[in-house]
Amino acid sequence: MKFYNFLIRYRLSLSCLALILGILLNVFYTSFWPVFPLYLISVIGLVSHFLIGPLRLIQEPMEKGQVEEVQKILKSIKYPGLLIKPVRATYYTILGNMSMLNQDFATAEKHLKKSSSIGSSIAETDGANKLQLGMMAIQKGNIREGESYLKHALRIGIPDKESESMAHLGLCQIYIQRREYKAAKMFFRKAKDCKPKTKQLVDQINEMNKYISRIPG
């Protein structure tokens, strides 16, 4: 794993080195075919550097909470437009999450919307994006937009029960505001059925339970 990460981290430099070495050998010492493996290695390295990028390196520092290292890796991607679609979508998702950590919600929304517009081959990733966009829209008072995002997130799939519970609870609050109590109670039951463990969600559900139990219907 460490060797693989080393190759990813220095892939561009190693690919350029292989290309230069191949050209020098080709010009001064031998013909094309003996140095063909060096050309092939350099082409594979350069193509993968620009089309896939170094996002694989982000996993470890993210798990360790090393935000500065994550940002350093993201900044090393100079041409995100060249990344293949699933990787590019993930890139903007991570940028959005970093902006949210910095409380820069306007930038976070911009990056998450860009990721969402690109789309991802992993439905759960797209679902998580829609959930975040939905919650931000609700906070800004864009209830209709928030509802659309949350329903879309649930429809395509959300990666964990905590997030799924959050989406149902958000929809419950929307329908309470509209006085559509039957729908509100349905989404509240679904939020509880997810059995979230996060203290903030548990507290919200407990508070909502006190209120919704007094609603008729």
In the numeric block, which tokens belong to residue 59?
């996993």
- Residue 200 pLDDT class (50, 70, 90 cuts): confident
Nearest to 143 by CA among 167, 174, 164, 165: 174
Q: Does the pLDDT at position 90 exceed 90?
A: no
Tell me if 85 sits within 8 A of 34, measured CB to CB.
no
| pLDDT tens track for 28-79 | 888 888 899 999 999 999 999 999 999 889 888 877 778 889 899 999 999 9
Angle at 160 between CA 163 and CA 56, to 5 degrees: 110
Cβ–Cβ contacts within 10 Å for residue 165, how many?
Answer: 24
Cα torsion 151, 157, 161, 165 to 10°: value is 0
- pLDDT (tens digit per residue) in 110-161: 999 898 888 765 666 788 889 999 999 998 889 999 999 999 999 988 878 8
Rg of the chain (C-alpha set): 24
Report percent pLDDT > 70 for the chain.
96
| Predicted confidence (pLDDT) at residue 210 exceeds the cutoff of 90 | no
Give the global pTM.
Answer: 0.77
Residue 202 token pair: 């548990």
How high is the pLDDT of residue 122? 63
